[in-house]
Structure 1
Amino acid sequence: MNRHLLRLLTSAMVVAGVSSCASYKTRFSKEGAQWQSVSPDPALELKHTMYLIGDAGNDSPESRAPVLEYLKTKLAGEPANSSALFLGDNIYEYGMPPAEDSAARKIAEFRIDSQLETLEHFKGRPIFLPGNHDWRGWGVKGLEAAGKIHSEIHQRAPWQNG
């Protein structure tokens, strides 16, 4: 009897596990199924373009981020009614180190400069938000770290120098 119950439970668990597995097929709601064939009214005028960039703070001279190079070419052609919103984690791993830590500081400066270079010919509005890696801690300490990055961005920003 116990063996029969064990087989039944095992079979039920296998059936439940297999039927609950994720599918590789993309599924849409009835309303969203035709999303590719639906387009905005051609009479509509584009008012603003916004680029959202996240986790861009891990660039290095040895491993340049191709997305930043691509972004630079895209942003150069954008009009003033556009924005580039950097969504945080602009400097991995712990934000902007103090000047005394010259090796880590040099890497952090490279990472923020890589992002600022994308804005060199951008006519729109850049916005930088701090992420958890930029806060370098919580509370007052985190606020101070984010403030250092904010200051660094404004000192190095191409729109400030030209």
Structure 2
Amino acid sequence: TEMMVTFLPRNKDVGSVYVNMTVTDGFGSFVYAEMVFHVSNVNNPPKLVGIRDRTVKEDNELRFKVSAKDEDLEIGIENYLVFSTNRTDGVGDDDLPNFRFEQDGSDPTRINVTFNPTNEDVGDIYVEFRVSDGFGAPGEWQDVRSMRITVLNTNDAP
């Protein structure tokens, strides 16, 4: 008599999974068996979450957070997320000088974004956020999401 056991591991199963089985013949005889599955981790690329369009008046500060979900971090695999945008490298010296972001010191899966729009920024600005955990192809971002920031004009004194 044959028996087939199928096991489809998920990310939470990385490590050793012990399975105890009891096989009986229906007449009172039984056999115990233990199997061990050794599950290796494969990289799960990070995914950006919570990115949505926003509106701000010129000369007003806009603050928000951008997060990434990384299943590898959730199971204790050491990983370091790198964030980027098409507008700045984070220090405000690019084509949108009043747009900055920094890694959140208490959460490696999050960045804090600050934007102080001026009159020159009035209108729609499209920002692309990117994230990588370093395990993808070199120079390739593993997730990319876009958002629109609408900067509303305010009356400027003459």
TM-score, structure 1 length as denominator? 0.26
TM-score normalized by the length of structure 2: 0.27
The structure where strand makes up a greater share of residues is 2
Question: Which structure has greater helix proportion?
Answer: 1
